[in-house]
Structure 1
Amino acid sequence: MEKKMNVIRKAFHEDFTIYRVAELKPLLLDTVAEGERIELDLSGVEHMDSAGCQLLMLVKREASVAGKTLAIVAHSPAVQSLIEFYNLAAWFGDPLVVAAQ
């Protein structure tokens, strides 16, 4: 985890699936509690399902309620695909950035 001027950037390389959301939820919520701006690098996420998408939506909402900003700064193809499938690009408000292979 990289921290600079109240910005926390965290990279994930785990799957965001129903099998992992219980483990990821406290990690993400703790990250939101630590900074004013949270940047999530999801370029290493190989698999994501609707449970993972719901978790990201929850964390984004919790950040907003706390007056903080959460941005996804890099998307894996799996993350981008799910965001596009559910038509959530505008809801998340982040440019869909796929890391170069």
Structure 2
Amino acid sequence: MNIGETSQGAAACLAVEGEMTIYRAAELKPALLDAVRASAAPALDLSSVTEFDCAGLQLLLVARREAAHLGRHLVLRGASPAVRDACALLGVDLDGDVQ
């Protein structure tokens, strides 16, 4: 269960590994918001997320809302099968957001 960050100039990509569930929401929320606030072009890499639930989706929506509030666009640089399956089950379309 790691959170890593890579930067290229004004762009930063936060990579979340392991669970993105209610059990990690308190840990992940400040890290996600800090990454969004610190970057002119925030991005999340969710390709290594092993479990994803409604709390994970709420975290994504909070990060997206914060980015919009700051006049930025949050980019998803990958979504694992767990993220895609949960979003499909919940009726959330990520295809327009994932690069």
Instruction: Classify the secondary structure of the residue corresponding to 1:89.
Output: coil
Partner of 2:9: 5
The structure with the largest strand share of the pair is 2
Segments of 5+ residues of structure 2 without an aligned counterpart are none
Q: State the one-letter code of the partner of 1:35.
A: S
Partner of 2:97: 94
Partner of 2:74: 70
Write the distance in 1 (CA, Å) between the matches of 2:23 and 2:54. Answer: 11
RMSD: 1.6
Deviations 1:54-91 (A, max 9, x none): 1111111111111111111101100011122222216x
Q: State the one-letter code of the partner of 2:69.
A: V
Partner of 2:46: 42
Write the distance in 1 (CA, Å) between the matches of 2:72 and 2:83. Answer: 22
Report matched runs for 1:25-40 at 5 Å.
25-40=29-44
CA offset at residue 5 of structure 1?
A: 2.6
Q: Calculate percent identity across the aligned residue pairs.
A: 38
- Normalising by structure 1, report the TM-score: 0.85
Partner of 1:16: 20
Write the distance in 2 (CA, Å) between the matches of 1:50 and 1:42. Answer: 15
Write the distance in 2 (CA, Å) between the matches of 1:46 and 1:74. Answer: 13
- Normalising by structure 2, report the TM-score: 0.87
How many residues in Structure 1 have an aligned counterpart in Structure 2?
A: 95
